[in-house]
């Protein structure tokens, strides 16, 4: 990876046409480059063999259509090659995005990010938004300049990535209040109507989060229930133990070199908010995941938190998860 390119050099270069083929040499090149840019703390958690295995799984899962997602395409730029595909939208109901899932180089300026975005948008067929999303590690040697002026092309910060190996979280001292929380695995969705009422009432009081969070559907909950990763939080109070929260996750998730469980829902009912129970509830859920054996092989608890959701960010940090990186959303210059 070359980190010495200048902004002036980038603006004079033109994108090169992209190809949908990925050779064995290109696959190995992406793996080598992503290993090098993976944060040191993740390399220490996983070791070389696990890291490469998780990276290979991440890339391979994007090379063929899966769950409605288009296959990956090679993006040829003057700086090097990247791998891109269509991905879920940043906001509910919006157009799909083009996502960079691996890079053989590290952009070194906003101009290079725009060149990458311009080429990736042209490389990925089908209907999608006019911006590109990629994961940027917090320990990268260069950090993007996030623009706010309407006259500038958009280079925006998106959701932050929080993660920690499950077994390491369990080894940490529990947050205060952990003894007031216990997790139970429901047998059915008898709780769903109450959950939906609580959620919709909360959304009315927090409209600024409406673009970034949503009520999980019954179909979602059925999926979580079938996987065994749906849990109800019971809190101890003056009237004994009462159901007051819902947590759920998806197993067998990968984000570049990270593999494990990705949180999908974490919600506390109104009577139990403001009591400092969010971190104890999350820790109780991680304890449940560990009891199910999901912390073996350095499996992580992984989650994305929007930068305006400060309460969720504080909760993740209290439980022991680390903020490792963040999404960068890039539109090419008009």
Write down the pLDDT at residue 297.
Answer: 85
Radius of gyration of the chain (CA): 21
Its CATH architecture, for the domain 165-324, is 3-Layer(aba) Sandwich (3.40)
Write down the pLDDT at residue 91.
Answer: 65
- Cα distances from 77 to residues 24, 104, 131, 135, 141, in angstroms, run 19, 10, 17, 18, 21
Write down the pLDDT at residue 80.
Answer: 96
Answer whether CATH 3.40.630 is correct for domain 7-145: yes
> 């979580």: which residue's tokens?
224
Which strand (E) or helix (H) includes residue 236?
Answer: strand 230-237
Tokens linked to 194: 């109450």
Q: Could you write out the three-class secondary structure of 51-84? A: HHHHHHHHHHHCCCCECCECCCEEEEECCEEEEE
Write down the pLDDT at residue 13.
Answer: 35
On whether the CB atoms of residues 328 and 145 are closer than 8 A, the answer is no
Write down the pLDDT at residue 259.
Answer: 94
Q: Going residue by residue through the chain, which has 334 residues, state the pLDDT in tens, using 9 for 90 and above.
A: 433 333 333 333 333 334 356 788 988 999 999 999 999 999 999 999 999 999 999 998 888 766 555 688 999 999 999 999 988 766 667 788 999 999 999 999 999 999 999 999 999 988 899 899 999 999 999 999 998 765 566 899 999 999 999 999 999 999 999 999 999 999 999 999 999 999 999 988 877 776 677 899 999 999 999 999 999 999 998 889 999 999 999 999 999 999 999 999 999 999 999 999 999 999 999 999 999 999 888 899 999 998 888 989 999 999 999 999 999 999 987 6
Tokens linked to 176: 């205060």
Coil, helix or strand at residue 8 = helix
Max Cα-Cα span within the chain: 69
For strands 155-165 and 181-184, give the pairing. Answer: unpaired
Looking at the chain, which residues constitute the CATH 3.40.630.30 domain(s)?
165-324
The closest of 142, 147, 148 to 7, measured between CA atoms, is 142
Write down the pLDDT at residue 226.
Answer: 96
- Cα distances from 51 to residues 35, 66, 177, 274, in angstroms, run 7, 23, 35, 39
35: left (phi over 0), alpha (psi -120 to 50) or beta: alpha
Q: Positive or negative, the Cα torsion across 219, 291, 263, 313? A: positive
């Amino acid at each position: 990876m070359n980190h010495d390119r200048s902004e002036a050099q980038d603006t004079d270069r033109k994108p090169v046409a992209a190809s949908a083929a990925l050779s064995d040499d290109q696959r190995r090149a992406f793996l080598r480059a992503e290993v090098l840019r993976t944060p040191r703390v993740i390399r220490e958690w996983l070791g070389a063999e696990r890291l490469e295995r998780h990276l290979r799984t991440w890339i391979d899962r994007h090379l063929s259509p899966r769950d409605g997602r288009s296959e990956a395409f090679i993006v040829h730029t003057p700086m090097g090659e990247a791998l891109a595909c269509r991905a879920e939208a940043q906001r509910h109901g919006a157009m799909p995005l083009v996502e960079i899932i691996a890079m053989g180089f590290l952009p070194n300026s906003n101009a290079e990010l725009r060149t990458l975005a311009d080429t990736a948008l042209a490389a990925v067929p089908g209907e999608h938004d006019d911006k590109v999303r990629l994961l940027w590690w917090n320990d990268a040697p260069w950090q993007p300049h996030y623009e706010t002026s309407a006259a500038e092309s958009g280079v925006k910060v998106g959701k932050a990535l929080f993660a920690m190996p499950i077994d390491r979280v369990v080894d940490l001292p529990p947050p205060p209040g952990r003894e007031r929380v216990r997790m139970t695995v429901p047998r059915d969705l008898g709780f769903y109507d109450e959950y939906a009422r609580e959620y919709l009432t909360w959304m009315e009081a927090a409209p600024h989060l409406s673009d970034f969070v949503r009520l999980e559907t019954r179909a979602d909950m059925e999926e979580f229930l079938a996987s065994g990763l749906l849990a109800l939080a019971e809190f101890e109070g003056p009237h004994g133990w009462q159901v007051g929260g819902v947590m759920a996750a998806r197993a067998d998730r990968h984000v570049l070199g990270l593999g494990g469980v990705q949180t999908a829902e974490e919600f506390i009912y109104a009577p139990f908010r403001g009591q400092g129970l969010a971190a104890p509830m999350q820790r109780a859920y991680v304890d449940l995941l560990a009891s199910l054996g999901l912390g073996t092989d350095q499996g992580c608890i992984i989650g994305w938190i929007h930068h305006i959701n400060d309460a969720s960010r504080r909760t993740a940090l209290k439980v022991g998860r680390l903020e490792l990186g963040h999404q960068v959303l890039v539109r090419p210059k008009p």
